[in-house]
């Protein structure tokens, strides 16, 4: 298992989990969302090839109402 910090909370994922697999496990469709890994945006096109590593800090954001 690997431990990551996801949206400020410690979570565990199986070794080799990709960003795409993480979003699927969380039940989140990638449309209108964005992922940051260790302060860099992960491009949508790299979701299936970017594997999470132990100690990663991840942010998953989406759009909400605002002014």
Partner 1 sequence: MDTLTIAGREFRSRLFLGTGKYATFEQMREALERSGTEVVTVAVRRVNLDEAGSGKSLLDFIDPKRFLLLPNTAGCYTTDEAVRTARLAREALGTPWVKLEVIGDPKTLFPDNEGLLAAARTLAGEGFVVLPYCLDDPVLCRKLQDAGCAAVMPLAAPIGSGLGIRNPHNLGIILETVTIPVIVDAGVGTASDAAVAMELGCHGLLCNTGVAGAKDPVLMAEAMRDAVAAGRKAFLAGRIPKRRHAAASSPTHGMIE
Residue 61 touching partner 1 (CB under 8 A):
yes
39's CB contacts (< 8 A; 6+ apart) are 57
Nearer to partner 1, 24 or 51 (CB): 24
Give CA–CA dist 50/3, Å, rounded: 16
Closest distance to partner 1 from the beta carbon of 65 (Å): 4
Element (H, E) at 21: helix 19-26
CB 36 within 8 A of CB 42: yes
What is the x/- site pattern for partner 1, positions 14-43, by CB under 8 A? ------------xxxx--xxxxx--x-xxx
Site for partner 1 in 39-58 (CB under 8 A): 39, 41-44
Give CA–CA dist 9/31, Å, rounded: 23
Q: Which residues bind partner 1 (CB under 8 A)?
A: 6-9, 26-29, 32-36, 39, 41-44, 59-67
């Amino acid at each position: 298992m690997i431990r990551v910090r996801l949206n400020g909370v410690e979570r565990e994922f199986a070794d080799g989990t990709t960003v795409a697999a993480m979003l699927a496990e969380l039940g989140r469709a990638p449309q209108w969302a964005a992922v940051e890994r260790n302060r860099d945006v992960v491009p949508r096109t790299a979701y299936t090839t970017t594997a999470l590593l132990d100690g990663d800090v991840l942010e998953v954001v989406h759009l909400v109402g605002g002014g």
